[in-house]
A = this chain, B = another copy of it.
């Protein structure tokens, strides 16, 4: 049988034996569907259950006091929605489905027990959190750069993560985002995203039309982005 997305993700980081894998999967056996544009988790929810994306794309977001929406992270299959939330009284941001999604849910308390029982799982989860933090940090540094570099960087990140998750292999990838969603992630208006996309297209670097990302000149793209793949990878793998 195939690995669940979560197990697959953690296996990129650490070695887990079949029993550890099945305990993880058992924890998250309650699968439900969420339609595109609907919240998987809303700001203010009580975190009693933890959720993992099984299929589709989602985004962590926060509504700014001024009314805009900031996307904080894109979530691909295998990503946790809300582990961190279990330590808060209520969740400080929402998560919505970018596409129709399948989401696995499990009890936060059972996860906590699993962490105590299975140190290797705890360690893998810890490392996964550290990688997520690296990604967040790269977003912070990113927002300092100009529109062109920001978009390029986002595309590099997504393409690499999709490769790791087994969702992309060639130069084309299915990236189910609107230009507005891209803008909400990198802090640009959709208008400016549009113009910058046109520029990148005319430069022969990337093309992003109709949900399809086509990387035309990956070397040039990385250069514009100032992208280094290494913060997403694990050069060593835990035994």
Residues of A within 8 A of B (CB): 13, 60, 62, 64-66, 68, 70, 72-73, 83-84, 86-90, 92-93, 112, 115-117, 119-120, 122-123, 125-127, 129-134, 136-137, 139-141, 143-145, 149, 187, 226, 228, 230-231, 233-236, 238
A84-B130, A88-B230 are contacts. A140–B70 as well, Cβ < 8 Å? yes
Q: 27 A-B Cβ contacts within 8 A?
A: A60-B137, A64-B141, A64-B144, A64-B226, A65-B149, A70-B141, A72-B137, A84-B130, A84-B131, A86-B236, A87-B131, A87-B236, A88-B230, A88-B233, A89-B235, A92-B228, A93-B137, A112-B123, A112-B238, A115-B119, A126-B129, A129-B130, A136-B137, A136-B140, A139-B140, A140-B140, A143-B143
Is the Cβ of A88 less than 8 Å from the Cβ of B235? yes
Whether B145 pairs with A65 at a CB distance below 8 angstroms is: yes
Does the CB pair B235–A130 fall under 8 Å? no
Known: A84-B130, A133-B136. 16 other contacts (CB 8 A): A64-B141, A64-B144, A65-B149, A70-B141, A73-B137, A86-B236, A88-B230, A88-B235, A89-B230, A92-B228, A112-B123, A116-B120, A116-B123, A119-B119, A119-B122, A129-B130
Residue of B nearest to A93 (CB): B137
CB-defined contacts of A90 to chain B, threshold 8 Å: 230
With A65-B226, A92-B230, A126-B122 as known contacts, state yes or no: A84 contacts B133, CB within 8 Å.
yes
Q: Tell me which of B60, B73, B115, B145 contacts A126 (CB under 8 A).
A: B115
Task: Report the Cα distance A140→B83, complex, angstroms.
Answer: 19
> Most chain-B Cβ atoms within 10 A of its Cβ — which of A62, A122, A123, A137?
A137
Oligomeric state, in copies: 2
Asked if residues B133 and A129 are in contact (CB atoms below 8 Å), the reply is: yes
User: In whole angstroms, what is the CA distance A62 to B144 when docked?
Assistant: 11
The residues of B that contact A228 with a CB separation of less than 8 Å are: 92
**Nearest-Cβ distance from residue A130 to partner chain B, whole angstroms:** 4
The complex places the Cα of A123 from the Cα of B134 at a distance, in Å, of 19
